[in-house]
Each structure stands twice: as structure tokens, then as C-alpha cells.
Chain A
Amino acid sequence: MVDCVKNEYRHHIGSHEEIMAMKAKHQVLATYTFDPTVIERGYNNRSLYISVGGQYDVSEQDPLLRKTEGERGIVIGEKAVTDFMKQKFTGGKGFDLYHLWKAVKADTSWNAPENDIVISPGPLAGITQYPGAGKSLVCCISPTTHLPIDSNVGGYFGPFLKFAGFDILELQGQAEEDILIYIDGNNHTISVETAPEEAFDSHILGEQLSEMYANSTKDKENISVISSGRAAEHSYIGILNFTFWDKRRQCIRLKQAGRGGIGTVFRNKKIKAVVIRYSGVHGDLNNPANKGLLNAAGIRLHKEMAHYDTKQNNMRKIGTANIIEVMDRYDLLPTHNYQYGGHPETPKIASKVFIEKYITQNVPDGCWYGCSMSCAKAADNFELRTGPYKGQKVCVDGPEYENGGGLGSNVGCFDPRWILEANFYCDTYGVDTISHATMTAFAQECYQRGLINLDDTEGLDLRWGNGYALNELMHHMVAGDGFGMIVGKGIRHQKRIYAERFGKVLPEYESMLEGRPWVSIKEPVIDKPIPTVHFNPDLADCEYLKAEGYDDEKVLASIKGDLLENAGANNDSAYIAQPGRWSKLIGVPTIGRDEITAWPVGKPYYSDDPDCCYSNGRPWVKMTPEQIAEMEEFGMENKGLEYSEYLMKESLAQQGGYALCNKGPQHDEAWLIFMDMVNNQIPTFEDKAEALHYFPMFRTWFGLLGLCKLPWNDITPINNKYEAEPAKIPEHVQNYFDIYEGVIGEKHSEASMVVQSERVYTFQRIFILRMGSGQRKHDTPPARSLGPITVGEYLSREERYDKQMKEIIGVDPTGKSIEEKVKIIMAYRWDQFEQLVDAVYKRRGWTPNGIPKLEKLIEIGMDIPELVQTVRPYLKQEGYWPSGEEYAKYDE
């Protein structure tokens, strides 16, 4: 055991006096005092509601039992957690989705004030006896999918919220300026305050607020902060960081609610942070029904970890990153945008490299008390090489497997230092490391296929493995710079923007542009004297800009320090203005003024589209339909969410696990690759469908209760292999039923657990249907997720594919070109995928179009009027509305 090295970035946070001076600048906008409660078997039976301001319709929402109204439209109040909610939705993600449904309409946009960030820790959360019991579940309407997203996160906030007296925190509305919410769980007060001076980036902000609200250094263990980061200002992939105080390192640690852009919504509401303080944690605060069951189950797992972890997964030493080399070995490590499943250079980023060179080992590192799995880890005093913190030594919380697979192999970067650098910046900027990696890999492949070029990327050479350029891309994204901002919107937006603005020169412009060089946009030249810049009537719509309140002086001020060197262009004519975002001016081709006037009349050169930065900026290029179709094949997103970092193309079950996922392709619903592809335990469609029913339900259950999935199967009892269904790890499942009974006081079984999850899972399916998705066509994956779409991919597994063609498809591959063979394999796999979808929908009680049947809703007790109304037109259209008198009442 070693004591941790203290990280040397303390002086960047500010002194105690400086931080308290920041606090003195806060203006309190609302305060609220609540009554203390005693938790009854895991529930407080009330929720905390905060609207941070703005006008919107709340008529459909549950009523506030008590409330106070502060300045600027801020409302703080309480709602009841009813028996109905507990019966139908259990808690955690179930409660989140319930409140979100009530808060939004079918057409609610992610940036509408009524969008609701709902955070709930679940009824088992906060117990200290069993590993992985400190999770919060977070939901809102996502900027990338426009659907409800759910994400789980460790850190101390969720348990503290519960111990303070609330099962749920709802954050609604939009504030006028940056605000901070402080919940004092011991003094039972809440305040909403302006927060003008604190940092935005989480590794600084978390420290500042821990210092600001703790009574002493020791008291920092009683503080948890939710924050996002600067990336949430401009990208759609902002995360929420939840802190906990690392007593050995004497610094905050960051755990992430990562998927779907919840941090972007948080910043859109102008919330800078939510801070909670609770002192007095102990194992009985949930008032459990039978503590003995908790103790016994907890100690059983603690002992397994103590005895077998080093022989099994080494979670205590390297956490989830232990599988980087395992995934490579089994052809599952996503490489070069999911083309391949491994790479000869993987040993350079194998787990032992991080263990030996970067990670501080042998430190109990759990994100909530009682986690003997302790899979968190950190690289201490890691020196950064790029960005605003270049040269500083920081604590990097990670790497998780996804960092290695995403920021490493998938973008072709086999340098552990770049992985850790990107890991750090993703966290502190508030960037979803998974989406960022997958969307970057997509941009890289577009670049290397020639679909976009160096001008489009603004000088960033996005070849595989160019770590410097990839980190620069992230800095551009965070700064809201042109191309970085496009990438930061996600693959679905990238595809649209690339199609509209990049690509080939249109025929009508060919003669005009012939022989003229493209402007090469290079690095910003900071030291260059800024030339006099005036609005150029040929390039900017001056009347519009002036009407918007911009004048020459403001433009000048905005481009200082951010001027692009524009080779070959006249300084006074080479810019296109962007309304509202003067962060960067975009270069245009070096064509003369006379020719500029030949641009389409009436096309202003400012953006009328908030999603993009140079709408209409280059009307002479557009992608061809073939190029657009090409992007669809390898853009690894579904429902607008980027795929997580496992190569799924050789496992049919996992292809379904991803594509049928309610929120988009994240493996937290099902990870069936080993069962399917390696161990061949689920050979038939029915077997796969059963697995794609049971495992998503079981994993949903973790999210209802406030539990982490890892202690379920990242350690296994030594006798597990002798179980009838070893993939389920029955002994650990029984542990969960024990702790459920221990807290709630009710016996649980596989059957009752599955129904509990089905209620929420089915609800979520109907929720996405309500929001415009949730039909079969929306579950269609990109072609690459099903198999090889290029010659290179085919050749990488030629022997396997040839054998498959001959033995399974019944076609002799001899004499066929690779292109022909790709077509044959892919046609077969699309057919297999469709058959799988049929089988899974059937098992889940859905129609062939993916709509939950009325009979299923009745069976699981979810025949709630709003749900029936949502599915009814679809069921009728498809011919699945049941006949019979017993159903007549549902047709009213």
C-alpha cells in the first residue's frame, strides 16, 4: 500500500480567500427550508423540484405540495413520491422517466425550458454494505437523439440527496444567468444563487465548490458537486460530472453521467453546478427492513473480491481497462472506426502499460462507500501537452476501457499519453468520451476517404492516430470553433452538415473555380497585427448584422486573438460572419470581387441555422447521393446516439443489443458478445431473443434500484461455471434479491424482477414512440455494425467470411471478387438481423413494427391511459388492436 502522491494543481484553483471572495459575489435568488424526514425502507416518499426560471406549461405535472417562489421566476418545491410511482416505476430511472414524461410534450426540444433533468438514486442506493450501491440515474430529452436519454453515474451526490431527504431531484426551466444550487442536507435548506466567477471546467469547479461549502478540509468528504464543463456550451455531447472527495489523494474525483448530452441541457439551463452537503453517513440510513441480509450479502462479495480479483479481472488495479487486450484478442476492440477488431499496436495501450507507467495502484478507489470492487483509478500528476492546461500536472480519473477502445484504437491512437490527455480533457470539459471517440472516428474516416478535406477540417490532419490533431479537435469543439463545433454535434448532425456543405464542387461552379486555389486555413495567428476589418457587403448581410446589434467595433473585438491567417486572400474580404457566434470567421476561396457577386442572389453569408456555423457559406459544393449513402454505411450511430466501444459485427445478438436499445446503442442494455460469439451459448433466434429479453430487463433493474452493474459479473463465484445458466451468475443475482429484501422488506425473484423492469422498459419504448422514434425503422443499424462493408474489412477476416459463405450461406466463394463476396455476406446478414428483430419483438410482446401490444401492457400492469393512447393509433394501423369486449374500454 502506498499513500497517494498529492496532485500539483492546487494553485490553479485559487486560495481559500479567493474562493470565499467568489462566494461573496453570489446573489441569493431563492431559499427554501424543508422538514427533515426518516427514510422508510429505501424511500423518502418525496421529491425535490426546482425550476430555475422561464415560462412553460406545467399543467400536466404532479402538483407541488409545498413551494417557495424566488426572484426571476425561480421555484423550489416538493412533490410526493406516491405508491403508484413506486408500484409502477420502482425508483431511479423509472422515477426519472415518469417525471420527464409529465414535463415534456411530444414536440419538446432539448433546449426548451420544460425539458427536465431528473436525477434519482434509487431505493437501494446509499447502502454501504454491498458494492456498487451509490448510483444516480439521470434522464432528460437528449440533444443528439431528441429522445429521453438515461445515464447512470457514481459519486456521492445521489446517496447524499437521499439522506438529505429526497428520492428525486428535478431541474426544469432556464435561468437568466449562471446559477448554482446548494442543498444543505443537515440544516435542511436549499438556495439558488448566482455564480458569476467560478470556473466552468469540472476539475477546477469541483475543487472550488468543495472548498467553498465545506466547513473544513475533513468536511470535504461530505460535499458532492454536479457540474458540466465548457464543452457543454457548444457541443451536444456534454456530460454531468458528479464528484466525490478522495481522502487519500486529497482531491476531488469525477464520475460521469456520460451519454446523450445531459450536460449540454444542464448548461442550456445556465446551471453551473448543484452542490450538496451531507454529514453523517452510515450503513443504516436507508432504514433497512433486514440489515442482516445486507451484511451477509455484502461480506460474501467483499470476500470474493479479496480472494479472486487478482486471479480474475484485476478490477482493483486497473478497473474496466483490464479488457483492452482481451477485446483485442477476441477481435472485439473497435479499431479505425469499427472496421477491425484489433491492431498489432494494441500492446502499446494494454492495461499493464497503464498499470506500470501511469496509474497509482493499490488504493481503495470506489465511487461510493462499500465498493470493494474499487474499479476507479487515477493517473496522478499527469503532465498535459495541449490545451488551456498545457504544462500542468493533473489527476486523470481513468482510463476506463472506453477510453482505451475509443480514444485509443478506434481513432487509431496507440499512445497511452494521448489517451490519458484526451481522457482528462473529456472529463473536465464535460465531453462524453464514447460519443466523442466514435464521432471523431467518423470524421477521420470521412477525411481519409476524401469525403471531406483539409480545408473542411480547418487544417486538422485527421489521419488515424494523429493524437495532436485529435486533441486539438477537442479544444476547437470546446471553443466553439467551426469544424470542431460541427463534429461536437454528433454523427447524425455531421452527416447532414457534411452533405449540405462539403463534398464535390457542383457543375455550375466548376468553371468559376477552375484553377483557383482553395484558401488554406491554418492555425490562428495570435501575434499578427489585426488588420482593419469592415463589413464587406459582398460577404455579409450588413443590414441584418446591424439590426442584430453588431457593428464594426464588436466584430473587431470578437476576432482579436482568433484571427485566421488567410493565405492568398484579401484580409478585408475573406471572412464570413456568423450571428451570435463571432468566435471564428471562416475563409472563402480566393476569387475576385466580380466573381463573388455571381454567388446566388439573396444568399446571406451568415448562419440562419443554430446547428451550423457556415450555412450557405460555400454554395459551390454539395455531396452526391452516393457520398451521402456512403456516410450512412459507416456512420456508427443509431437513433442519433453514437455506438459505444465494442466491435459488434461478428455477434448477431450484440448487433441487436445495440440497435434495439431504447436510448440508442449503448451496451448497458445487453452485452452478449461472449455468450453469442465466443461461447456459442445462444445459437438459435429464440435463444438470442430470450437473451435480448432477460439481460436488458436485468440490467434495467440496476437502474431502477440505484446499483452498479460491475459487481454483478466482473467478479464471479468460483463455482459459477457449474451453474445451469452461468451467464446469469445466479449466486450474485440471489445477492441482489437478498439486498432488495434487506432494504425494502419484500421477497424478490427472477419473475418479479423481470416484471418490475418490463414496466419501465416498455414505458421507455412508448416514450420514444411518443417523441417520434420507437418503430422498427428506427432500430435499423448502420451497415458496418452488421459486417464487412469494405474490401479491407473483408480481407481482414477473409478465411472466416469465406467459410461462412460456403458452409452457412451455401455459396462457393471460389472465383468471386471481394466486392461480390461483400455483397453476398452483407445480404445474408441483413436477412439474419431482420429475423432477429422479429424474434426479439415477439419475445418482448411487441408487434412486428416494434410497438408494445395492448395485451402486454395489461399483463404487466401498465395499461395506463396515456400509454394506451400513444400506442393505439400504431396498433390499429398495423392491425394489432385486439378485438373482444374486455378491450373495449381502452378504445375510448
Chain B
Amino acid sequence: MKKLVADSTKCTGCGTCEKVCSNAYYKVEDKEKSAIRVIANEQGGYSIAVCDQCGICKDMCSIMALKQGENGVVRLDKKTCVGCLICVGECLRDLMRYHDDLPTPFKCVACGLCAKKCESGALSIVEA
């Protein structure tokens, strides 16, 4: 199972990961278009929210646009997706993301680009 793993205790809140993600997939630095989310905690510090590839989202996709590969990563086939956003509602952690500008939702595919750019070492790709 390949997935992105986050250690929020190391996060400095720089937002680089969000910029890298949105830039990689949508050519814009906009955290609303990033699959990874960094949230400032009220009591200080940051929480990183990343998809753990649990696959609940794919189970409710009637057109089977979401598929879990052999490496465990759940990917969305944007050509098949009809933009119903059920998967967004289904994700308990709000990590199936959407944006009103975009025709389809999006999610982390464990590409690792954010981990490579994370200077604090809060992010890593694991394959178990």
C-alpha cells in the first residue's frame, strides 16, 4: 500500500506542500486546489490532512470512475467522472476535494512531489 504519511508535529505551516500540489495539477498556487491540506490549530501548531487511500470514496461511485490500483492508490478517471461529488460527501475527513472552477473532484495520488519539497520532513511516501 503506497500512501503519503504526515507527521504534523514537524509541520511549520509554510504551505509549500499545498502550493506544490496545486501547481502540479492545476498550474496555480491555490491551496483550495490542493489535495493536501494544512490547518492551523487553535492551540498552536498545524495539522496536516492527507488521504490514507482507505477507498471508501470509490465504493459509492456508481460509474466506477474511482479505482484502487494494485499499489493501493485510489485514482479518479476524470474522463469517466460525471462530477456528482458523492465521493466528496462520503470522505469522512474531507480529503476528496473539489473546487467550483473544476469539473471533477480531486484527491491525493501519493505522487510524493509535496514530500520532496517539504523542508521540515513532515511528509513522506511509504510503501508497505
Same complex: yes
Q: Which residues of A contact B (CB under 8 A)?
A: 1, 128-129, 221, 247-248, 281-284, 291-292, 295, 298-299, 301-303, 305-306, 362, 364-366, 369-372, 374
Q: Which residues of B contact A (CB under 8 A)?
A: 59-64, 81-86, 88-90, 92, 98, 100, 103-104
Q: Are A282 and B103 in contact (CB under 8 A)?
A: yes
Q: Which 7 A-B pairs have the closest CB atoms?
A: A302-B89, A283-B83, A370-B84, A128-B84, A292-B100, A1-B59, A364-B62
- Which of A284, A299, A365 has a CB less than 8 Å from the CB of B103? A284
- Which of B81, B83, B85, B92 has a CB less than 8 Å from the CB of A302? B85
Knowing that A295-B85, A303-B89, A370-B82 are A-B contacts, what are 4 other residue pairs whose CB atoms are under 8 Å apart, sorted by A's residue number? A282-B83, A282-B103, A364-B60, A364-B62
Residues of A within 8 A of B64 (CB): 247-248
Name A's interface SS: loop
Q: Are A364 and B100 in contact (CB under 8 A)?
A: no
CB-based nearest A residue for B98:
A295
Q: Are B63 and A247 in contact (CB under 8 A)?
A: yes
28 of the cross-chain contacts (CB-CB < 8 Å) are A128-B84, A129-B83, A247-B62, A247-B63, A281-B82, A282-B104, A283-B83, A284-B83, A291-B100, A295-B85, A298-B85, A298-B89, A299-B85, A299-B89, A301-B89, A302-B86, A302-B90, A305-B89, A306-B90, A306-B92, A364-B59, A364-B86, A366-B62, A369-B63, A369-B82, A369-B84, A370-B86, A372-B86
Question: How far is it, in angstroms, between the C-alpha of A248 and the C-alpha of B103 when the chains are bound?
Answer: 24
Residues of B within 8 A of A282 (CB): 81-83, 103-104
Question: How far is it, in angstroms, between the C-alpha of A234 and the C-alpha of B81 when the chains are bound?
Answer: 43
Residues of A within 8 A of B82 (CB): 128, 281-283, 369-370
Q: Are A283 and B100 in contact (CB under 8 A)?
A: no
CB-based nearest A residue for B92:
A306
Residues of A within 8 A of B62 (CB): 247-248, 364-366, 369, 371, 374
Question: How far is it, in angstroms, between the C-alpha of A247 and the C-alpha of B88 when the chains are bound?
Answer: 21
Q: Are B88 and A283 in contact (CB under 8 A)?
A: no
Question: How far is it, in angstroms, between the C-alpha of A247 and the C-alpha of B61 when the chains are bound?
Answer: 10
Q: Are A221 and B89 in contact (CB under 8 A)?
A: no
CB-based nearest A residue for B103:
A282
Shortest CB-to-CB span from A214 to chain B, Å, is 15
Question: How far is it, in angstroms, between the C-alpha of A283 and the C-alpha of B87 when the chains are bound?
Answer: 14
CB-based nearest B residue for A316:
B60
Question: How far is it, in angstroms, between the C-alpha of A306 and the C-alpha of B89 when the chains are bound?
Answer: 7
Q: Are A129 and B63 in contact (CB under 8 A)?
A: no
Question: How far is it, in angstroms, between the C-alpha of A284 and the C-alpha of B100 when the chains are bound?
Answer: 11
Q: Are A283 and B60 in contact (CB under 8 A)?
A: no
Residues of A within 8 A of B81 (CB): 282
Question: How far is it, in angstroms, between the C-alpha of A302 and the C-alpha of B87 when the chains are bound?
Answer: 8
Question: How far is it, in angstroms, between the C-alpha of A247 and the C-alpha of B64 when the chains are bound?
Answer: 8
Question: How far is it, in angstroms, between the C-alpha of A292 and the C-alpha of B100 when the chains are bound?
Answer: 5
Residues of B within 8 A of A306 (CB): 89-90, 92
Residues of B within 8 A of A281 (CB): 82
Residues of B within 8 A of A305 (CB): 89
- Which of A292, A299, A364 has a CB less than 8 Å from the CB of B61? A364
Residues of A within 8 A of B98 (CB): 295, 299
Shortest CB-to-CB span from B37 to chain A, Å, is 16
CB-based nearest A residue for B78:
A282
Residues of B within 8 A of A362 (CB): 59
Shortest CB-to-CB span from A610 to chain B, Å, is 45
Residues of A within 8 A of B100 (CB): 291-292, 295
Shortest CB-to-CB span from B69 to chain A, Å, is 16
Question: How far is it, in angstroms, between the C-alpha of A301 and the C-alpha of B89 when the chains are bound?
Answer: 8
Shortest CB-to-CB span from A374 to chain B, Å, is 8
Question: Which of B63, B81, B85, B103 has the most chain A CB atoms inside 10 A of its CB?
Answer: B85
Question: How far is it, in angstroms, between the C-alpha of A602 and the C-alpha of B85 when the chains are bound?
Answer: 72
Residues of B within 8 A of A372 (CB): 60, 86, 89-90
Residues of B within 8 A of A364 (CB): 59-62, 86
Q: Are A129 and B59 in contact (CB under 8 A)?
A: no
Residues of B within 8 A of A248 (CB): 62, 64
Residues of B within 8 A of A128 (CB): 82-85
Shortest CB-to-CB span from A261 to chain B, Å, is 31
Residues of B within 8 A of A129 (CB): 83-85
CB-based nearest B residue for A298:
B85
Question: How far is it, in angstroms, between the C-alpha of A248 and the C-alpha of B67 when the chains are bound?
Answer: 13
Shortest CB-to-CB span from A853 to chain B, Å, is 45
Question: How far is it, in angstroms, between the C-alpha of A365 and the C-alpha of B62 when the chains are bound?
Answer: 7
Residues of A within 8 A of B104 (CB): 282
Question: How far is it, in angstroms, between the C-alpha of A281 and the C-alpha of B103 when the chains are bound?
Answer: 11
Residues of B within 8 A of A302 (CB): 85-86, 88-90
Question: How far is it, in angstroms, between the C-alpha of A486 and the C-alpha of B123 when the chains are bound?
Answer: 74
Shortest CB-to-CB span from A302 to chain B, Å, is 2
Q: Are B86 and A221 in contact (CB under 8 A)?
A: no
Question: How far is it, in angstroms, between the C-alpha of A305 and the C-alpha of B98 when the chains are bound?
Answer: 18
Shortest CB-to-CB span from B20 to chain A, Å, is 25
Residues of B within 8 A of A374 (CB): 60, 62
Residues of B within 8 A of A303 (CB): 89
Question: How far is it, in angstroms, between the C-alpha of A786 and the C-alpha of B84 when the chains are bound?
Answer: 45
Shortest CB-to-CB span from A30 to chain B, Å, is 32
Q: Are B89 and A283 in contact (CB under 8 A)?
A: no
Residues of B within 8 A of A299 (CB): 85, 88-89, 98
CB-CB under 8 A for A283 and B59, given A302-B89, A305-B89: no
Shortest CB-to-CB span from A371 to chain B, Å, is 8
Question: How far is it, in angstroms, between the C-alpha of A129 and the C-alpha of B104 when the chains are bound?
Answer: 11
CB-based nearest A residue for B60:
A364
CB-based nearest A residue for B99:
A295
Shortest CB-to-CB span from A172 to chain B, Å, is 33
Question: How far is it, in angstroms, between the C-alpha of A305 and the C-alpha of B87 when the chains are bound?
Answer: 12
Residues of B within 8 A of A221 (CB): 63
Residues of B within 8 A of A298 (CB): 84-85, 89
Q: Are B85 and A370 in contact (CB under 8 A)?
A: yes
Question: How far is it, in angstroms, between the C-alpha of A362 and the C-alpha of B90 when the chains are bound?
Answer: 14
Question: How far is it, in angstroms, between the C-alpha of A369 and the C-alpha of B86 when the chains are bound?
Answer: 9
Shortest CB-to-CB span from B18 to chain A, Å, is 20
Question: How far is it, in angstroms, between the C-alpha of A221 and the C-alpha of B64 when the chains are bound?
Answer: 11
Residues of A within 8 A of B83 (CB): 128-129, 282-284
Shortest CB-to-CB span from A649 to chain B, Å, is 40
Question: How far is it, in angstroms, between the C-alpha of A434 and the C-alpha of B88 when the chains are bound?
Answer: 37
Question: How far is it, in angstroms, between the C-alpha of A221 and the C-alpha of B82 when the chains are bound?
Answer: 12
Shortest CB-to-CB span from A295 to chain B, Å, is 6
Shortest CB-to-CB span from A411 to chain B, Å, is 34
Residues of B within 8 A of A284 (CB): 83, 103
Residues of A within 8 A of B84 (CB): 128-129, 283, 298, 369-370
- Which of B63, B92, B103 has a CB less than 8 Å from the CB of A283? B103
Residues of A within 8 A of B92 (CB): 306
Question: How far is it, in angstroms, between the C-alpha of A624 and the C-alpha of B61 when the chains are bound?
Answer: 61
Shortest CB-to-CB span from B72 to chain A, Å, is 15
Shortest CB-to-CB span from B94 to chain A, Å, is 9
Shortest CB-to-CB span from A174 to chain B, Å, is 38
Residues of A within 8 A of B88 (CB): 299, 302
Shortest CB-to-CB span from A3 to chain B, Å, is 10
Residues of B within 8 A of A371 (CB): 62
Residues of B within 8 A of A283 (CB): 82-85, 103
Question: Which of A281, A284, A292 has the most chain B CB atoms inside 10 A of its CB?
Answer: A281
Question: How far is it, in angstroms, between the C-alpha of A281 and the C-alpha of B89 when the chains are bound?
Answer: 20
Residues of B within 8 A of A1 (CB): 59
Shortest CB-to-CB span from A289 to chain B, Å, is 12
